[in-house]
Amino acid sequence: MRNLRKELTPEEQKSAAKALKINISQVIKDPKNARVGTYISNDGEPSLDYVFQWLWQNKATPFLPILHPFTQVHLLFQRYEENSPMTTNRYGILEPELNCSHVSPVAALDFILTPLVAFDSQGNRLGMGGGYYDRTFAQIPPDASHRPKLIGVAHQCQHLDALPVASWDVPLDYIVTPERIYCPHR
């Protein structure tokens, strides 16, 4: 699945990024003041560059994941601005330089856009294998009065009929591709 997305041409990736912005705006209907977990694309993942511009133009606040400096197995989400100082983590992925005053509790985010390797129509995602997102999402109390909507972002070629599901896997509320929006639990 990773090879399929990496084989997309730069033109296909750019077209996908534009279409994703349109489809994501159908899920995040009122972005004003929304706190949105996002990501910087890597390894052929769909780019969110157009989504970032749309969020900033609509007075939403994007947050980027950072590998937790102490636990090493969770993610922190830090506010992301166009001029945020960036660093490369141990996986070669760009993330903001840690600034604790810009970190948001995961449960305080309204939406989290998450990359994935593969997905199915039931809202299951296959990540890169580290479990960072699932462990981070598991920290949200099940009885929380506010829970972020979890939105997987992928190319359509990453869709599979079914994925194996483990007890720790956290299902997605939506999956957005350039061609389609999946709402598995509706």
Instruction: Write down the pLDDT at residue 173.
Output: 94
Instruction: Write down the pLDDT at residue 186.
Output: 66
- Please report how many Cα atoms fall inside a 13 Å half-sphere around the Cα of residue 108, on the Cβ side: 12
Mean pLDDT computed over 11-32 = 96
Q: What is the pLDDT of residues 90-118, one digit of tens each?
A: 999 999 999 999 999 999 999 999 999 99
Instruction: Write down the pLDDT at residue 73.
Output: 86
Q: What is the pLDDT of residues 122-155, one digit of tens each?
A: 999 998 878 899 999 988 877 778 899 999 999 9
Burial class, 176, CB count within 10 angstroms (exposed 0-12 / middle 13-18 / buried 19+) = buried
The beta strand positions in the chain, using DSSP E, are 35-37, 61-67, 75-79, 86-88, 94-96, 103-104, 111-115, 118-119, 125-126, 149-153, 174-176, 181-182
Q: What is the pLDDT of residues 22-58, one digit of tens each?
A: 999 999 999 999 999 999 999 999 999 999 999 999 9
Of the two residues 75 and 185, the one the predictor is more confident about is 75
Domains and CATH numbers, the chain: 2-112+127-182 (3.40.50.10420)
* pTM score of the predicted model: 0.94
